[in-house]
Structure 1
C-alpha cells in the first residue's frame, strides 16, 4: 500500500511538471519574448502601392492578376447627427442576377456578363480562337477586338467581319459586350454605325452569349483592359451641396428611363402613372413588400412570432412616391425620389429607397 502511494505521488508530481512546462512553452510561443501580443492593427499603414509589372515585348500578361484588389468606394453620403445603424445589406446586390443575359433596347443589343472587363476580355479571345475566327486588330485600352474578313458558307453569302466592344456595365463587376457586323458592302476600311446585316449580328451575339454562359469564368485577367476600362460601375449614390441624396447614372436618357422603370418593378414599387415628358414615374410602395426588407427584423424574430400583436390585423400601408430623372450637365442622369404629397422625406428613408432602386438598375 505504501509502495502504491509512493508511485502515485511521483506520477502526480511528474504530470504536474509536464503541464507546467507546456504552459510556459505555450506562453512563450503566443506572447513572444516580451510576453505580450504584437499589435498588428496598424501594419496596413506600411503598405505601399507599386507600379504594375512590365513584361518584355511579345509576352502575354493575361495570367497576372492582383490577388487582393481594393474595390473603389462609389457611394459617398454623410451621416445625420442622430444616426441609427441600419440592418446589414445582403452580400449579393441581386442574387437572381443572371450570369449572362442578352439585353436589347430599340435596335441596340448587348450582352450583360458578370465579371469586370479585364476578366471577360480573355474569354472573348477564347471564343474567337475556338471558332477559328482570325483576329485583325485588338485594342485593349478601348476594349475593341476586330476580326479579319470572313467568308460565310453559302453561294450568296457576302464576305463579312465583326467588331466586339467590351464596356463597363452599370453595376460594379459587370461588363457589356456589343457586336457590330459589317459586310463587303460597307467598304474595306470604315465600320458602319449599325450592323450591315442585323440578323447576322443577332446570330453572332447569341453564339457569343452561349459560349460565355457555358464557359466558367477563367482566372486569367487582362491587366491592360483592367486598368484602361473603369470597373467601378456607371451608377453611384451621391450627395449634392445641399445634402440631397440622388443616384447618378452614366447612361443615355432613353436607356436610363427604361432601366429605371424595370428596376422599380423589381424593387417592389407599383407604377401608377408614367409622364415621359416630365421624366417622372408615379409610384406606390408597401413598406416591407420587398423580400429583403422583411429580413430587417433580425434573425431571432421567429422567437417572438407566438406573441399576439395588435399590428397583425392592420393592413400594410401603401405610400405614394415620385421618382424623377433629370439630365445633368456632365451627360449623366440624376435620379431622385420624393413623397407624392410633397412632405419632406427623411434622409435615412431617401437613402434606403434609393439604394433599393440602385441595386436593381442594370
Structure 2
C-alpha cells in the first residue's frame, strides 16, 4: 500500500512540474526578440479594421510655391546624382536623443536623400510593408501588422501558430526632417511613432442567442518602448555599432520610467481672445518637434508642413464620442437615424514662438482662426499627448 501511495505521490509531483513548465513557457511572450512582423510580408496582409484606413492623399490640397517641404527645408530639391564608391566609408555621427516622451535619432552628416533608401530597406527587413511613401513630406507609414513576438514562445505556438493571434495590431510612421548642423553642415532628424489597435468584445457574454460575440477594433496607447526599439535598430542599420546603439537606447528607456528624468507638464489648454490655444513651455524648435510627433501618434493625416512658417497642414476625422455607435440599417431606414459624420476636414495647426514659450492654435483650411468644438477637441488631443 505504501509503494502504491509513493508511486502516486511521485506521479503527482511530475505532473505539477510539467504543469509549471507549461505555464511558465506560456507567459514567456517577450523572452526572445521584441519584434516579429515577418508574417506581415510572408502571409496574406491583415485586413485593416473598418474606419481605420489611412486617408488618401489629395493632390488638390497641395499649395503651390510657398510651402517648404521636408525634403527642401534647409536645402535644395532632391537630386539623384550618382555617388562615388568608397572602400571604407566613414560612419556619420548617430545620436539617439530624448526629451519627455519624445525620442528621435540625429544623423549628422547625412541628408534625407542619403537616408531614404536605407529606410525602405529597414522596414522591409523588419517585415513591414509601406502604405505611405512620400519623400516630399519626408513621411513613411507602414501597414497595420501583428507583432508575432507577443505570442507565447512554447510548443503550443508550434502546433497552433497559424491559428493564434495577439488581438493587437501595430503601425509605425517615420518622419524625416532636414536641420542645420551646428558646424554649418547638414543633419537629419528621424522620428518613429507607434500607433496601436486592440480587438475587444463589443457586447456581453450571453447577449446573443447563438452564443456569438461581436468584436471591434479600438485604439490602444502608443508604445514608447517600441519606438525606442525601432530607433535602435535603425541606428544600427545606418552604421552605428550595436553596443553604442544598445547603450543609448537603454538610457532613453530608463528616461521613460525614472522620475528624476521625467519632464514636468509643459502644455495646457488656454483661452485667448475667445479662441482655444495650447500654451507650451518650450522654445519653438522643441515645440515643433513635439507637436509633429503628437500628430503622428494620434492619427492625423499630415498633408504638408512648413517649418519656416510653423504650420502643419492636416486632415482630421472627429472620432465617435464615448458610447456613440454607428446606427444600424434598421435605425437608419425606419428610425431616421443619421450615420456618424466621418467627413475629413482640413485644418492648419500652427506653432508660434513667444520667446522661450510657444503657442499652438488651430486654423481652418483658409487660414482663419477656428473656434469650433472640433478645433477644441483637436487641441485637447494634442494636450493629452504633449502632457
Class of the TM-score when normalised by the shorter of the 2 chains: 0.3 to 0.5
> Normalised by the size of structure 1, how large is the TM-score?
0.34
> Normalised by the size of structure 2, how large is the TM-score?
0.33
- Of the two, which has the highest radius of gyration? 1
